[in-house]
């Protein structure tokens, strides 16, 4: 990782103002209705928040910065402001209160981690729409066998369908970051299509993508039991194949044998 990337990541975790048209497009993409329960992550100075409030939805925001959270509370008394770290948020609690939509121009340094948790742990999630670093958007929507296809792709796609909505260039931010951004939509999969054992899937993803240049039979040497060998036969996957050639669904099925 070079210095430019480090600087960009750090600064995008702080406050950047984004063009109003982009905010409108993000809110429009989330298809929010008047009776929707919505959670916004990292509202900052409220660029997106204003447009979300215009929909008349029941809006809660999670902002880590105390000053920004206080300012939002003063400016928008109708808003529920939680001054908290989204990384420690209870997605289970929020989702258990009924159907919800989650949106945000995510702090880029924690975007992948947040998405990993949100898609897996939020019950009753109808849709999520996030602006993330462009590179992360490509990983979230990558096809199997491509360079961008990785652990994040496999995990998220076992929980939700993802769609790359649009690219956001640095020119629409003030000040301008050094990286491109993109907006991605997440539509949760029905319960029957989700991982049977999420822990086993998460462990397998970590194991296989730690050594993505190696052949599957080499990485899985210690786990090479009869059920695993049969799995390769059944799925028609060569033991010499590399991890990124498996589909997200194949990862899930393989995790059940290991």
Nearer to ligand SAM, 103 or 220 (CB): 103
By the rule CB under 6 A, 204 interacts with ligand SAM:
no
Alpha-carbon torsion (232, 117, 103, 37), positive or negative:
positive
Taking the complex as a whole, how short is the minimal distance between the CB of residue 41 and ligand SAM, in angstroms?
A: 6
With contacts defined by CB under 6 A, name the span among 61-69, 156-164, 185-193, 241-249 that binds ligand SAM. Answer: 61-69
Binding to ligand SAM (CB under 6 A): which residues in 33-52? 42-44, 47-48
Residue 154 binding ligand SAM, by CB under 6 A: no
Q: Dump the DSSP string for 189-255.
A: PPGGGS-S-HHHHHHHHHHHHHTTTS-HHHHTGGG--HHHHHHHHHHT--TT--GGGS-HHHHHHHH
Query: Binding ligand SAM by CB under 6 A: which of 63, 185, 244, 252?
Result: 63
Cβ–Cβ contacts within 10 Å for residue 193, how many?
A: 13
Closer to ligand SAM by CB, 42 or 195: give it: 42
Q: What is the DSSP letter of 124?
A: T
Q: Which of 36, 105, 112, 202 binds ligand SAM (CB under 6 A)?
A: 105
**Least distance from ligand SAM to the Cβ atom of residue 122, Å:** 16
Burial class of residue 52 (count of CB atoms within 10 Å of its CB; 0-12, 13-18, 19+): buried
Query: Is residue 205 a contact residue for ligand SAM (CB under 6 A)?
Result: no
Q: How far apart are CA 229 and CA 99, in angstroms?
A: 42
Distances 169 to 20, 172, 236, 254 between C-alpha atoms, Å: 14, 6, 42, 39
Residue 63 or residue 185: which is nearer to ligand SAM going by CB?
63
Nearer to ligand SAM, 22 or 219 (CB): 22
Output the smallest distance, CB 252 to ligand SAM, in A.
29
């Amino acid at each position: 990782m070079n210095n430019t990337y480090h600087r960009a990541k750090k600064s995008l975790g702080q406050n950047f103002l984004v063009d109003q048209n982009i905010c409108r497009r993000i809110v429009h993409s989330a298809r929010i209705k008047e009776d929707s329960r919505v959670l916004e992550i990292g509202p900052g100075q409220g660029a997106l928040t204003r447009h979300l409030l215009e929909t008349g939805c029941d809006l809660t925001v999670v902002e880590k910065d105390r000053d920004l959270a206080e300012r939002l509370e003063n400016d928008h008394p109708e808003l529920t402001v939680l001054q908290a770290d989204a990384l420690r948020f209870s997605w289970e609690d929020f989702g258990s209160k009924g159907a919800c939509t989650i949106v945000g121009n995510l702090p880029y340094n924690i975007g992948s981690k947040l998405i990993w948790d949100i898609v897996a742990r939020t019950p009753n999630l109808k849709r999520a729409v996030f602006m993330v670093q462009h590179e992360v958007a490509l990983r979230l929507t990558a096809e199997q066998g491509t360079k961008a296809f990785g652990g994040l792709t496999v995990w998220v796609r076992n929980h939700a369908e993802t769609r790359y909505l649009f690219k956001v260039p640095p020119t629409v931010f003030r000040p301008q970051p050094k990286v491109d951004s993109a907006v991605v939509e997440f539509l949760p999969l029905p319960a029957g299509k989700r991982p049977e054992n999420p822990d086993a899937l998460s462990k397998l993803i970590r194991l296989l993508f730690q050594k993505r240049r190696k052949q599957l039979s080499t990485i899985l040497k210690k786990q090479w039991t009869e059920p695993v060998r049969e799995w390769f036969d059944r799925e028609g996957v060569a033991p010499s194949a590399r991890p990124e050639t498996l589909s997200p669904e194949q990862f899930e099925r393989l995790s059940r044998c290991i």
